Structure 1
């Protein structure tokens, strides 16, 4: 994509690429591979399979290589260049995160967005930049993948998981529609916001003919909404971004229905963001973890100011607060909505109603879903842990993860191999904090995950490593460096 107000500095990215290579050479990364190779059933066993090549999956892959776990692969169902939400349903003009955050750089300054931007467009342009354009962020991630030489198998989807008696995982995948089975030792689900579920759609909307509605994460033909009335349900960022996109595509009017009496204004978790939260959240007692996340959910995350202004500056945009759905019925070619504030006739509904952690929406996890321990399976929050007295389903249905983001058994001894599957996506938040999906702490989360995987692989292979220790016989001294002197010579 071209940007009329930005001009590439000739040779800028080439110079940055050289600096990245030099930095890696000085740090001696990637380190040499150390995991003993395995084979089974006539095929090589992959040490780690990462599902998802968005920001999280790329950071995990690069971190694995830095730790010497080179025998891994990354899969993504999307075509190359369309991984993650940035080129699909992320319809915001700019990112919410401040431009200065280091993001998926793994501690290497030359891998930051700022380095990429300044080398490409210049420091002066960086100083002028307010927020990062979404399309530029996607270009940066593509560059990150290229400079780190991360190989991704695109148009490849996980179709099922089987635990073998020998401790390996057999993964059924569909690659360009063709079935295949690969064997691996660890599986990382870096599958984003809906990683253990899918879009949540209120039942009254889901019952409508599908031509009358879409979820905000769907591929929507906005051009087809030109001259039509659109109603957006929700008060979050995706509601504003979809409303704005519909308006900019020529919708006749857009009504935004908000159940709350007031739009949320304070971004709670961002407000207390610090390395203390990043490193310390996972060590909190369960009640305190619940209390923190309950407070965030109760307050709700507000949409960015720029996103709201993008909508409100349009004269044909209308906000309706304290307006909850009561019924929705087809009406000719459109839809009639009965709300707590009255009736609204519209042509099309966009449900910006978020996502749910609902394993039944992930058929590829059907064989393991019943074994995954959720927070509701073992924890009941005390009254002081619930700000409003509401027990949020999002927290109840969050996976109860181990220290390395690994799934834990619902019934001890029933499925011990489930610990070889790691949840490095948004539903890990209650167990680990915001380190598995958001830009600010993605490198810290990936490091935590990969250190655990490296530790577990080494412990599992300890006998092989000990045999290697015993067999190691490369002398540093040749025996001609000294002369043995008799004591009597003294």
Structure 2
């Protein structure tokens, strides 16, 4: 069936016309509204921001837009990367296209004019949209840059948040980097929109400890693929990032690439795609702990396969080799050669790439140094039956519906409720609403609503006073004339007398 253009009047009209449409849509809904949150100062006359967001990628952008739409306007967004390099898309993401279907609304927050489809069709037309299969990765970054620009989101680039320190009811952030115009800022709420590694970091297996750092890299690292021309490359793992990095090495002239795969066979079914629905998005977070654990455990053990296109990108090279049941047991150097011992024997190469993903470990976040061990984790809250034991799942933070961290011991770290984990770390608690494209707008809506509710409750006395002080008259006094009652009839008078 032929698709209908999302906006026939805008198809091929260009971004300027789409920009006008976005502004019109927002104006029709009176968005963003004026701020309703009382301004605060502390420690003398230091200004206190309502919200600071760490991360200017897709999560940080849609979170900022959601907060602005809710009238929470005193916010700042810090990203450590230069403009145009936020998130993984132009850094360590090396796939040719996104896995997600092109039709997903993504960070549009309910606005058709803010979808990738509207952005694409406005420039290339409906026919090109219908011909498009998957979204090219660099094009997704272009779209996000436009999203930031058309909404005038307050992202400050090249600003790194070094440390977060509780300061009474507030949080103090220590900043660094070329874009930092202050050394510290105060905020009431902090949103960690820090992506896949947002509550931990790259997973580095212990078997590389004896190797020089020049002999290996993680897929999240900057890798000089040109230097791999003519080299023998060993890749540990067969997930999406392992596949994409192997493809880059092969396309840059690697002599060979050998995948060392622990599993006996390639995973082929993306189980989580089979249950995605409005019901799952909104119902998962309310399930009992046992059900949430069971669903995520199943997702982890079945493993998400790499995309078909990415896998074909590798396998079209005759010098790509997939070795199953080859879990790594040890590594060593012999001269300039990397020697990997597997369950099936030794593999020799010139460079090792770890496609081992990311680990959840709040203690690894330097911003939270000194109190990360006070964050409630799933292993503190729920003990699964033996057959569902999973160490990695147990390390995920146990966050509330507002994405906020919770205390491991009540009363010991109340400020944790002001730090919102709007990243991959929240997925076991809340599902796929704080990182993955399908549910990101729903997650941003939950986040903004929860922060708004918290502010209103904290400031209720101020709002009560505003209610009492409000004196703008709706009526001026000249809209009516008072009239006396008509004279009572004889019958009425008799009734009163009786």
Query: d(CA) in 1 for partners of 2:11 and 2:290?
Result: 52
Question: Which residue in the other structure is 1:467 paired with?
Answer: 465
Describe the superposition over 1:424-449 as per-residue Cα deviations: whole angstroms up to 9, x where unpaired: 00010011000000000100000001
In the TM superposition, 1:53-452 aligns within 5 A as 53-165=56-168, 167-176=169-178, 180-383=183-386, 389=387, 391-452=389-450
Determine the structure 1 residue equivalent to 2:496: none
Instruction: Find the counterpart in structure 2 of residue 5 from structure 1.
Output: none
Aligned partners of 2:237 and 2:355 also within 8 Å: yes
Q: Give the aligned partner of residue 386 of structure 1.
A: none
Secondary structure of 1:474's partner?
coil
Q: 1:95 touches 1:132 (CA, 8 Å); kept in 2?
A: yes
Taking the TM superposition and a 5 Å limit, the aligned residue runs for 1:451-490 are 451-488=449-486
- Distance in 2 separating the partners of 1:297 and 1:437: 17
Q: CA-to-partner distance for each residue in 1:72-109, whole Å, 9 max, x for gaps?
A: 00001111100000000110000000001000000000
Q: Which residue of 1 aligns with 2:37?
A: 35
Check whether the contact 1:232–1:351 (CA below 8 A) recurs between aligned residues: yes
Q: Secondary structure at the match of 1:449?
A: helix
TM-fit CA distance, 1:390: 5.2
Equivalent residue, structure 2, for 1:18: 20
Counterpart Cα distance in 1 of 2:368 and 2:484 = 73
Secondary structure at the aligned position of 1:486 is classed as coil
Shift of 1:340: 1.1
SS at match of 1:104: helix
2:301 counterpart SS class: helix
- Give the Cα–Cα distance (whole angstroms) in 2 for the partners of residues 36 and 27 of structure 1: 23
Q: Is the 8 Å Cα contact of residues 294 and 388 (structure 2) preserved in structure 1?
A: no
- Unmatched tracts of structure 2, length 5 or more: 1-9, 489-498
- May I ask how many residue pairs the two structures share in their alignment? 477
Larger-Rg structure: 2
Distance 1:224 1:177 in 2: 32
Instruction: Provide the C-alpha distance between the structure 2 equivalents of 1:10 and 1:390, rounded to a whole number of angstroms.
Output: 52
In the other structure, the counterpart of 2:494 is none
1:9, distance to aligned residue in structure 2 (A)? 8.5
Q: Kindly indicate whether the alpha-carbon contact (under 8 Å) linking 1:213 and 1:350 is maintained by their aligned counterparts in 2.
A: yes
The 1:390/1:336 distance shift into structure 2, 3 A limit, reads farther
**1:456 CA drift (Å):** 0.3
Residues in 1 aligned to 2:13 and 2:335: alpha-carbon distance in whole angstroms: 59
Moved more, 28-37 or 134-143: 28-37
CA distance in 1, matches of 2:391, 2:55: 25
Q: 1:125 to 1:34 in 2, by over 3 A?
A: same
Root mean square deviation of aligned Cα: 1.4
Separation (CA, whole Å) in 2 of partners of 1:342 and 1:249: 28
TM-score by length of 1: 0.95
Q: Distance in 2 between matches of 1:146 and 1:206?
A: 44
CA distance in 2: counterparts of 1:280 and 1:360, whole angstroms: 30
Deviation at residue 360 of structure 1 after TM alignment: 2.8
**Secondary structure at 2:227 match in 1:** helix
Q: Does 1:45 align with 2:43?
A: no
**Cα gap change, 1:78 to 1:489, in 2 (>3 Å):** farther
What is the rounded CA distance, in whole Å, between the counterparts of 1:9 and 1:26 in structure 2?
21
Whether contact under 8 Å (1:54, 1:84) holds in the other structure is yes
Deviations 1:323-379 (A, max 9, x none): 111210011112111111111110000000011112232111113302110011121
8 A contact 2:192–2:198 mirrored in 1: yes
Segment of structure 1 superposing worse, 360-369 or 215-224:
360-369
Give, in angstroms, the shift of residue 228 of structure 1. Answer: 0.5
CA contact (8 A) 1:160 1:367 kept: no
* 8 A Cα contact 1:368 1:418, kept in partner: no
